[in-house]
Amino acid sequence: MVRAAVLTAVNAPLRITEIDLPAPGPGQVRIRLAAAGVCHSDLSLSNGTLRQPAPAVLGHEGAGTVVAVGEGVRTVAPGDPVVLNWAPACGDCHFCGLDEPWLCADAATAADIPYATLAADGTALYPGLGTAVFAEETVVPERAVLPLPPGVPLTDAALLGCAVLTGYGAVHHSARVRAGESVAVFGVGGVGLAVLQSARLAGAATIVAVDVSPAKEELARAAGATEFVVAGADAGKEVPKRIRRLTGGHGADVAVECVGRADTIRTAWSATRRGGRTTVVGIGGKDHQVSFSALELFYFGRTLSGCVYGNSDPARDLPVIAEHVRAGRLDLGAMVTERIGLEGIPAAFEAMLAGRGGRALVVFG
């Protein structure tokens, strides 16, 4: 038996309880978690913004040590440090054939298959986003496990599983930020902090962080922001004006939206220069609409693109990111604003709703 934070139903409070995990079957790996990041996507799963079968153990950003492997597993062995991949590519679908593993049609299949049971009564449990890392241990398919490159602290490595791969990829793969460009980052949460650090890595000249909380300025500047703008009640009009003043009157070459709100997406678009690129990383609701006039689409010539998991190939990108960590160019620990236990996850959800903090990290053991 292991302890876990269980979502009994959509919009129900998480319950800390014991669960039973089976021994890993063929092609499966059992992992003892060292740490798990609390991501806004977990909140979206808990409140129904994203679909999640319940009851479930949430959590998708994690790192730990292999405890046992099932028959046929070849890539990892007991004792290996690993990072969880919540969107593992199958390698066989249409999108994988196009070399777009972040769009894999089968990446989410594990989330719909029960993987454990409640210790109290045997109720079947589903793994949140296929990984279920809000627990002391988890069992996942082999393709959801990435060997951790040497030289990266195991606890901080949890952030590589979502925030860092997403933020790094948004800058380097989706927006393709070039040295000397200006970048505006909307939302200074875990992913936003990774975007700021990645924009600095890319050589961006002006990096503007935008957030509703003035308290996040120090955090944003430490991550690489050269400017900080507070988004007030009239953000849709005032923030683009501020960003144009900070970028020679033109607007940002690249705007990256990390919030997932229709009004923030619209503001990020308006803050982008003519011919610039707006990349949407945040996950919004299916009923939230963003409007553009036909004339402005023509006149401004901007590019608006979605960004799934940073348009990353984790197997390719993780070693590159690990080298940045080892060289001190990317600071994982600086993204963590709070280290908590399983019992602290509900408070971390509340902090995200209130726009406070960066990344809360559940630390086990």
Could you read off the pLDDT tens digit of each residue along the chain, which spans 365 residues? 999 999 999 889 999 999 999 999 999 999 999 999 999 889 889 888 888 899 999 999 999 999 999 999 999 999 999 999 999 999 999 999 999 999 999 998 999 999 999 999 999 999 999 999 999 999 999 999 999 999 999 999 999 999 999 999 999 999 999 999 999 999 999 999 999 999 999 999 999 999 999 999 999 999 999 999 999 888 888 999 999 999 999 999 999 999 999 999 999 999 999 999 999 999 888 889 999 999 999 999 999 999 999 999 999 999 999 999 999 999 999 999 999 999 999 999 988 887 777 789 999 98
C-alpha distances (whole Å) from 191 to each of 20, 39, 125, 165 are: 32, 9, 28, 9
- Region of residue 151 (left: phi > 0; alpha: psi -120 to 50; beta: else): left
**DSSP sequence for 254-322:** EEEE-S--HHHHHHHHHTEEEEEEEEE-S---TT------HHHHHHH--EEEE-SGGG--HHHHHHHHH
Query: Is 128 within 8 Å of 45 (Cβ atoms)?
Result: yes
Q: Identify which of 39, 81, 60 has the alpha carbon closest to the alpha carbon of residue 258.
A: 39
Question: Are 32 and 78 in contact, with CB atoms under 8 Å apart?
Answer: no
Taking CA 138 as the corner, what is the angle to CA 91 and CA 97, rounded to the nearest 5 degrees?
5
Which residues neighbour 166 within 8 Å (Cβ) at sequence distance 6 or greater?
A: 191, 194, 281, 307, 309, 310, 312
The span from the CA of 139 to the CA of 125, in Å, is 12
SS3 364: coil
Q: What is the DSSP letter of 135?
A: B
Distance of alpha carbon 210 from alpha carbon 206, whole angstroms:
13
- The secondary structure of residue 171, as a DSSP letter, is I
Which residues have C-beta within 8 Å of that of residue 340, sequence separation ≥ 6? 38, 347, 348, 360, 361, 362, 363
- Residue 49 has a pLDDT of 84
> Do you find a cis peptide bond into 55, omega within 30 degrees of 0?
yes
List alpha helices for the chain, DSSP H. 40-47, 94-97, 163-169, 190-201, 217-223, 235-246, 262-270, 294-300, 314-326, 345-353
230 CB burial (10 A radius; 0-12, 13-18, 19+): middle
According to CATH, the topology of domain 164-309 is: Rossmann fold (3.40.50)
Report pLDDT for 98. Answer: 97
In CATH terms, 2-161+331-363 corresponds, of 3.50.50.60, 3.90.550.10, 3.90.180.10, 3.30.60.50, to 3.90.180.10
Give me the pLDDT at residue 352, please. Answer: 84
Q: Which two tokens stand for residue 189?
A: 């949460």
d(CA 354, CA 365) in angstroms, rounded, equals 29
pTM for the full model? 0.94
What are the boundaries of each domain within the chain? 2-161+331-363, 164-309
In this prediction, residue 273 carries a pLDDT of 98
